[in-house]
Amino acid sequence: MRNLMPEPPATLLPADEAAEAALAAAADPMPVAAAHPTFSGAWAALAQGALAADQPVTAYAYARTGYHRGLDQLRRSGWKGHGPVPWSHEPNQGFLRCLHALSVAAAEIGEADEAARCAQFLRDCDPAAFDALNS
């Protein structure tokens, strides 16, 4: 069955070239997050590092910070709480990676409902993001 209701347009976050360059050059994302606290990409890198180090509570905190900073940016970019947030648009990837890390960390600390909500939100944003981050 095809959905006949129009979907809102895709939300494309603006690039932050200075933060992206700093993260690409950094051995440690911590100073990048400190210098660019609105840049979800740095928070995602911190969360993913904490998950890899088996520190799910720390990962949860980093991912939640990046997730909320990303929501702020999405809203400023016209997002109304639903609609596509394409993985193919690189500036969106920090937010989407935070959302995925939040789901994983929530599962690891026993927050099954939140883990499921975050996983569904990631699928709703872009199924390609869900597939790319869960492969």
What confidence score (pLDDT) does residue 6 get?
Answer: 78
Report the chain (135 residues): mean pLDDT per 10 consecutive residues.
76 97 98 98 98 98 98 96 96 98 98 98 98 96
Query: Please, which residues have CB within 8 angstroms of residue 98's CB and are 6 or more apart in sequence?
Result: 40, 43, 44, 47, 62, 63, 64, 66, 67, 70
Asked if residue 70 lies in contact with residue 98, where contact means CB atoms within 8 angstroms, the answer is: yes
What is the spatial distance between Cα 71 and Cα 81, in angstroms, rounded to a whole number? 9
Q: Which helix (H) or strand (E) holds 96?
A: helix 93-108
Q: Which amino acid is at 116?
A: A
What is the spatial distance between Cα 33 and Cα 30, in angstroms, rounded to a whole number? 5
Query: Please, which residues have CB within 8 angstroms of residue 106's CB and are 6 or more apart in sequence?
Result: 60, 112, 114, 115, 118
Q: Distance between alpha carbon 2 and the CA centroid of its chain, in Å?
A: 29
What confidence score (pLDDT) does residue 30 get?
Answer: 98
What confidence score (pLDDT) does residue 3 get?
Answer: 61
pTM of the model: 0.94
What confidence score (pLDDT) does residue 1 get?
Answer: 58
What is the spatial distance between Cα 130 and Cα 135, in angstroms, rounded to a whole number? 9
